[in-house]
Amino acid sequence: MSSFPISLPPNLDAIVQKFKKRSDPKKRYEQLLWYAKRLESMSEKNKTPENKVQGCVSQVYIAAYLEDGKVWYRGDSDAQLVKGLVSFLIEGLNGLAPTEILQISPDFIEETGLKVSLTPSRANGFYNIFQLMKKKALELQRETSV
């Protein structure tokens, strides 16, 4: 692993910057709820054990597929704030190549300032959602290199 930070993909960086500008935790929550409203619905058939995020208090699902060498995610949660976190990550990561996703360090989660706004279990859930998205990108990458 290199010692210099890898710059974030443009979409993810733009979202991180939006959250960094909001010092008021209430404003960060409002931003998350705004993202939650933007999340496209996920079909029930994708709500499988393989797509379930482990270690989350709420029900969270992430599905991924590859199209033209790019990863596209779908997700859902039964909790609005968590749905906002899912939407944030989907918007930030959709359309990237698996290798690009695999290079992203979860450090950006700290940068958003959300960790102080979220309960420890939600902050941990945010990390777990991101890790599952990386795992899915890796699986898709492996499938294409076989």
Q: In this structure, what are the phi and psi dihedrals at residue 97, rounded to the nearest 5 degrees?
A: -75, 150
Residues with catalytic roles: 56
Asked if 42 and 65 count as a contact pair (C-beta separation under 8 A), the reply is: no
Q: Can you tell me which residue has the tokens 């795992």?
A: 135
Structure tokens belonging to residue 111: 């940068």
Mean pLDDT over all residues of the chain? 91
Report whether pLDDT(3) > 60: no
| 48-87 tens-digit pLDDT | 999 999 987 889 999 999 999 999 999 999 999 999 999 9
DSSP 110-146: HHTTHHHHS-HHHHHHHHHHHHHHHHHHHHHHHHHH-
Confidence tier at 4 by pLDDT (50, 70, 90):
very low
Q: Is the pTM of this model over 0.75?
A: yes
Digit-coded pLDDT (tens) for 26-47: 999 999 999 999 999 999 999 9
Per-residue model confidence (pLDDT) at position 118: 84
20 contact partners, CB below 8 Å, separation of at least 6: 111, 112, 113
**Which of 14-28, 39-53, 108-122 shows the lowest mean pLDDT across its residues?**
108-122
What tokens were used for 94? Answer: 């959709």
User: Which residues lie closer than 8 Å to 77 by C-beta, 6 or more apart?
Assistant: 56, 58, 59, 60, 61, 83, 85, 86
pLDDT band at 19 (very low <50, low <70, confident <90, very high): very high
Class (C level, CATH) for 10-145: alpha beta
Quote the pLDDT of residue 25.
Answer: 86
Instruction: Identify the pLDDT of residue 2.
Output: 38
User: Would you say 101 and 8 are in contact if contact means Cβ atoms under 8 Å apart?
Assistant: no
pLDDT score recorded for residue 6: 59
